[in-house]
Amino acid sequence: MYVAVKGGEAAIANAHRLLADRRRGDRSVPALTLEQIAGQLALAVDRVMAEGSLYDPELAAMAVRQSRGDLIEAIFLIRAYRTTLPRFAASSPIDTGRMLIERRISATYKDLPGGQLLGPTFDYTHRLIEPDMAGDGLVAEPVRRDPGEAGPAPRVMDILGDEALIEGDGADDGVEPTDLTRSPLAFPAPRDLRLQALARGDEGFLLGLGYSTQRGFGRTHPFVGEIRIGEVEVEVDLPEFGFPVVIGRVRVTECQMVSQFFGSKSQPPQFTRGYGLVFGQMERKAMAMSLVDRALRADEFDEERRAPAQDEEFVLAHCDNVQATGFVEHLKLPHYVDFQAELGLLRTMQREHVARSTDGTSPCGAGQPVGEGGEDVDE
Amino acid sequence: MSEASRNSTPDPQAARRRAVSAFAQADAGFLDAAWQRLGAGRRVGALRGPESGLVMVRGRAGGGGAPFNLGEASVTRASVTLDDGAVGHAMVLGRDGTRAHFAAVFDALWQDETMRETVEREIVAVIEAALAETDAKRRSETEATKVDFFTMMRGED
């Protein structure tokens, strides 16, 4: 039986009006501007762009504002927005080797060409709340130093690669990459699809999984070969021109994780690698992504898949926070009829139980599970 | 930023590519003001747009391997025609229709050989100089955070 229930329109309308009021807060306090959000909460905006899978700082700032700072809600808004737009083209793959570097560090080479550039990092701060943050004091201009005529900093991987101590990037076979926004996720998933899913995956989920690999659940024994953050040009080959043109720049974070050796009969032992690439300044996410990317490559290195981070279906099917939110939060929706059905079943079972115990025929104790009646059946 | 965008070259395709790449990264207000100055009296017809859409930005596995889809970026494209028949196109990151419109207008004006040198000098070069200045500032700020390692002697000798 299906019972339609109506009602709640006025309550919903008033709830949304109340939400708008609470979102704005005290009217005597100036409203946040998009410039303030994009400029001063830049890393929140970066996360919304990365996991919303749409690079547009102004739009991400609007989403952060609308969602009252609930970043997963903001990511949801961005994902919904992107479905309303046509896709004009795909870019040429960005060249991170030509990045305008704002930060670049390596934990494997102290004296790498181009140097260790700390950039605007939280590292080495004391993690104590600064009393100055309560006010709006003067902030000093950054120190500048002439970088000279240095060319693009070579990627660390190319240094190790020259000695054949580390596996290469793999070949570009010219095949069009798969796109999980156009075709459903299927297993086994090729690496390009995995990287796309990880790049838009939830930072917290991937951080936990990456951490688990370090703690022994799919041990990878990693080193940070290189992290670099900065702007890269986006180039698109447009038919109206007949040649690729630069349409602007995006900021990205790239992490090259160097991992344990692997050798075979045909190959000498080499370091293996995990790769992380994310929109915006998102170092933690890029690192977590590279750990999980490496863990998911288990089959390539004949590693047994025993840990969650190595389980492709587990990782890819659960790393998307918009999907996860949808299914977890749907539990809030009315389940009145489902629940009534279960209540009825449970009452019947209890009556039978009482009848059996007064007969003296039941051997069962009070702790017996209620069985299949406890399952969610509305999927 | 790229080599191609810094060295001038006689190849007209490379020159247009460089110019279009500059228009795409210019400020809408700058292009608007420049058009009032250089385009006076010219009529612009809209062929397409400005319309917003997406470009799928790709990366490469490992940085240099097979391409994968990193995520989309919002873009705006426009195509215009000038009264001399020249057709200009533009695609720019973001949702600024004015910027896309004027970027297309200047692509069309650049194709007028009598105007090319002026556009190169007063628009392309100016945009490139502004980008180079911003980049140089950021590079020097980053450079100041470079670690200068020194070794401390320990022990007796």
Q: What are the tens digits of pLDDT across the range A109-142?
A: 888 888 899 999 999 999 999 998 999 989 999 9
Q: How confident is the model at residue A371 (pLDDT cuts 50, 70, 90)?
A: very low
- Residues A185 and A301 reside in one and the same domain: yes
pLDDT 10s digits, A290-304: 999 999 998 888 888
| CB neighbour list of residue A183: distance below 8 Å, 6 or more residues apart | none
pLDDT 10s digits, B57-101: 999 999 999 999 999 999 999 999 998 889 999 999 999 999 999
CB contact under 8 A, B57 and A94: yes
> Which of A303, A327, A351 marks a domain boundary?
A327
Q: Exposed/middle/buried for A318, CB within 10 Å: 0-12, 13-18, 19+? A: middle
CB contacts < 8 A (A, B): 239
- Residues A78 and A160 reside in one and the same domain: no
CB contact under 8 A, B142 and A240: no
> What is the rounded CA–CA span in Å between residue A203 and residue A211?
12
In a domain, A259, yes or no: yes
Interface of B with A in 7-36 (CB under 8 A): 13, 16-17, 20-21, 24-25
pLDDT 10s digits, A211-264: 999 999 987 789 999 999 999 999 999 999 999 999 999 999 999 999 877 777
Domain boundaries, given as residue ranges, for chain B? 12-132
Identify all chain B residues contacting A255, using CB atoms and an 8 Å cutoff: none
Which chain B residue's Cα is nearest to A170? B65
Answer whether residue B123 shows pLDDT above 90.
yes
- Residues A62 and A205 reside in one and the same domain: no
- Residues A106 and A243 reside in one and the same domain: yes
DSSP 3-state percent helix, strand, coil across chain B (nearest 5) = 45, 25, 30
- Residues A268 and A164 reside in one and the same domain: yes
- Residues A220 and A107 reside in one and the same domain: yes
Mean pLDDT on A305-320 = 95
The pLDDT of residue B134: 95
The pLDDT of residue A143: 95
B155 min Cα distance to partner chain A (Å): 22
> What is the rounded CA–CA span in Å between residue A353 and residue A268?
68
- Tell me, yes or no, if B70 comes closer than 8 A to chain A by beta carbon: yes
Interface of B with A in 31-60 (CB under 8 A): 52-60
Burial A104-133 (b: 16+ CB within 10 A, else e): bbbeeeeebebbbbbbeeeeeeeeeeeeee
In a domain, A363, yes or no: no
Q: How confident is the model at residue B18 (pLDDT cuts 50, 70, 90)?
A: very high
- Residues A105 and A43 reside in one and the same domain: no
In a domain, A139, yes or no: no
The pLDDT of residue A162: 67
Answer whether residue A63 shows pLDDT above 70.
yes
The pLDDT of residue B6: 45
Average pLDDT score, chain A:
89
Q: In which element (H, E) is residue A171 found?
A: none
In a domain, A263, yes or no: yes
Answer whether residue A379 shows pLDDT above 50.
no
In a domain, A366, yes or no: no
> Which of A327, A345, A363 marks a domain boundary?
A327
> What is the rounded CA–CA span in Å between residue A291 and residue A146?
35
In a domain, A5, yes or no: no
- Residues A76 and A187 reside in one and the same domain: no
Mean pLDDT on A2-17 = 83
Q: Helix A71-82 vs helix A42-52: angle between axes, to the nearest 10 degrees? A: 50
CB contact under 8 A, B64 and A82: no
The pLDDT of residue A368: 46
pLDDT 10s digits, A154-197: 787 777 666 778 888 888 888 899 999 998 888 999 999 999 99
Closest CB to A245 among B24, B58, B139: B24
- Tell me, yes or no, if B79 comes closer than 8 A to chain A by beta carbon: yes
> What is the rounded CA–CA span in Å between residue A179 and residue A289?
18
> Distance between alpha carbon B147 and the CA centroid of its chain, in Å?
32
Q: Tokens 């040429």 appear where?
A: A92
- Residues A164 and A47 reside in one and the same domain: no
Q: How confident is the model at residue A4 (pLDDT cuts 50, 70, 90)?
A: low
The pLDDT of residue B155: 67
Looking at chain B, the whole-number percentage of residues with pLDDT higher than 70 is 89
B63 min Cα distance to partner chain A (Å): 7
Tell me if residue B79 falls in helix, strand or coil.
strand
The pLDDT of residue A83: 95
Q: Name which of A79, A91, A94, A183 to mutate to probe chain B: the one with the most chain B Cβ atoms within 10 A of its Cβ.
A: A91
Which of the pair, A376 or A96, is modelled with greater confidence?
Answer: A96
Q: Name which of A179, A193, A195 to mutate to probe chain B: the one with the most chain B Cβ atoms within 10 A of its Cβ.
A: A195
Closest CA to B67 of A113, A303, A237: A237
In a domain, A358, yes or no: no
- Residues A184 and A77 reside in one and the same domain: no
Q: How confident is the model at residue A152 (pLDDT cuts 50, 70, 90)?
A: low
Which structure tokens are listed for A102? 């704002």
Answer whether residue B49 shows pLDDT above 90.
no
Q: Contact, B140 vs A145, CB < 8 A?
A: yes
CB atoms < 10 A from the CB of B73, how many?
Answer: 23
> What is the rounded CA–CA span in Å between residue B33 and residue A238?
27
Which structure tokens are listed for A60? 């991400």
- Residues A158 and A292 reside in one and the same domain: yes
**pTM of the prediction?**
0.89
Tally of domains within chain A: 2
Q: How confident is the model at residue B127 (pLDDT cuts 50, 70, 90)?
A: very high
What is the domain extent for residue A292? 96-121+153-168+180-327
In this structure, are strands A100-105 and B67-82 parallel, antiparallel, or unpaired? Answer: unpaired
- Residues A162 and A63 reside in one and the same domain: no
> What is the rounded CA–CA span in Å between residue B133 and residue A2?
68
Predicted ipTM?
Answer: 0.89
CB contact under 8 A, B21 and A250: no
The pLDDT of residue A184: 87
B137 min Cα distance to partner chain A (Å): 8
Answer whether residue A88 shows pLDDT above 70.
yes
CB contact under 8 A, B55 and A103: no
Q: How confident is the model at residue A2 (pLDDT cuts 50, 70, 90)?
A: low
> What is the rounded CA–CA span in Å between residue B78 and residue A238?
12
In a domain, A132, yes or no: no
Answer whether residue A269 shows pLDDT above 90.
no
Mean pLDDT on B31-56 = 92
Which of the pair, A264 or A85, is modelled with greater confidence?
Answer: A85
